Structures are given as C-alpha cells and as structure tokens.
Structure 1
Amino acid sequence: MNHDLAAYNCFRRVRVESEARSADTEASAVAAQLLEKPVTLHRDIRSVLELQKSVVSVDAAVSLAEKALQKFPDSRYLKSCLSMSLKWQVEQLGETASQELIERTAHLLSEVISLYPDSCFKTEIDRANVLGKSNHSLSQADRIYQDCSDESWGLCPNSSSTTATPTS
C-alpha cells in the first residue's frame, strides 16, 4: 500500500464534511498499517503524521511518531519526525504547554540539531520558539535568537547556548 497516496486521499475526503468521521477512522487505519511495514515507514511517515495532525489530532501524531521511534530507536529521521510532532503539540497548547513538554521538545530538537548539523537553522529557530513558550526558558530562547541573527548561517551557531556542534 502506498501510505503517502492513502494519506492524500484521506485529506481530500476530509474536505467533504459528511466523510470526516470515516476519514478519522481511515487515518487511524493508515497509521496502524504504516507501523507494520518498516520498509515504507521511513518513506511515508511524514505524510501520515500530517494526516494524523489534520484529521485525528496532534496527540495522535505524537503517539504515532513515538511508536515508530520505539520500533527503530536509532533512526535519526524518526527522531526528527517526533520532534516535529512534539513541536506541533507545544504550538497547539501555547502558553498552557507544560514545562515538562517544553523541555522534552527542546531536548529532542537539540538532539536533531546534532544529528543534522548541516541543516540546523530552522531547527534552532523551532527550538527557540518552543523555549519561548516557557517563562523559565525565555533567556535561553533569546540567546538562541541572538545567535541566529549574529551568525551568517552557512553553518550552525558556534555558541555555548546551543547543543549543536558545528561542522568543519
């Protein structure tokens, strides 16, 4: 089964209000099938996470990403997918996001930065945005934003306020 195509078709049907309930069920089925097929998991998970977020809930997307990462704990791509899903959750909750969720998301984003050092600018900004949701982390978020504006961003910032390690 092409999970990417199934996700697209489900998105399309959600636009028709009468089919929204069946789309919710179908989205859950696509997610369950995806977890059973490791070959297509890495190829299709991002589309299915977007589907889960739009049709079911952000919590469902986080749950799917967590289950996928449990199956393949060394997958840097799945860590990136989980960090994206957690970021959605923090954004959805806004100021009511728990400190624990903010810290977990920021930590995972830091890990993703170290796993993808050549493409960390957007992830650094995401990390600063997440940290900015907490009064406890505002100064850290400000430092990251400052580092981002100070650097020429051909590389990640070489700063003690981030956990990314710049490449040579």
Structure 2
Amino acid sequence: MEIIDVIELDINGRLRKVSIKKSWTLLYVLREVFNLTGSKCGCSTGDCGACKIILDGEAVNSCLILARNAVGKKILTIEGLSDGINIHPIQQAFIDCGAVQCGYCTPGMIMSAKALLDKNPNPSEADVRKSIDDNLCRCTGYVKIVEAILLSAKRMGGIRGV
C-alpha cells in the first residue's frame, strides 16, 4: 500500500490541502483532485507542453513534477488567469488572432506566453518562438500563435507598432 501524505498547495492564489499518494504528479492533482482541467495530459513525458503551468514564475510541465515537490511554491494554472469575468489579454489575443485551432495545446501555449511576458514585456519574435519551443501544436505552423503572443505584448504595454 502506498503512503498517503497531506500537503498544502498554493494554487491560483488559494491555499488548498490535499491528501496525495507520493507518486502523484502535480498534473494529476490539478486535474483529478481539484478539477482544474485546463492543463492537458498530452504525453506524460514532458515533451508536448500541453500540461504547462507557471510554478514560482517559471513555465513548467506539470506532468514532470511530483505534487509534493510543489509545496511552498506558487502554482498558476490557466484557470487562474481570468478574474472570473474577464479573460486575460493573452487569452483574448489568442482568440482575436485565431490561434486556438483545436484548443488542446492552447492553455500550455498561453502559460508559456504569460511566463515570457512577465519577464520580458517587449519580446522579439525570436524570444516568443524560443518561449514556446517545447510546446507542440499539431494544427498550425505556429504563425498565429506567435502573432497572438506579440499582440498580447503590445496590448499589455510592451511591443510598439506590432
């Protein structure tokens, strides 16, 4: 029998206690325990970026992180971007640019974009492409996704003249 731990996680600004098995990933806890299903399980090996979240300011694949290793860290999921009424400017730019396609990769792309823009509000196209380098999209050539991230940077006060 696997040992159960009780941990507390800071998810989207709210402290939440949860009983976990030591082997549970953060992705599993987010989706299956807290029903935060925006992060997707695409590969379980950290290769696709569909499960991307922001952990202490860094975009990370939640399928590779044990939930117990996220204790004491700030976890931001796609659900934490909106204020309950208004969506985040990055989310709106993805809609406006038609960068959502099937939508499976979109939350991970948006979280990668958010982590980038938090650190670099004025990214170049090369910066944007590098920030989403480990996010796979099977629907597009990434053009609209890059356009959406650059547009959101402009709308958020970064890039001028895009």
For Structure 1 versus Structure 2, the TM-score category normalised by the shorter chain is: 0.3 to 0.5
For normalisation by structure 2, the TM-score amounts to: 0.34
Q: Which has the higher helix share?
A: 1
For normalisation by structure 1, the TM-score amounts to: 0.33
Which is greater in Rg?
A: 1
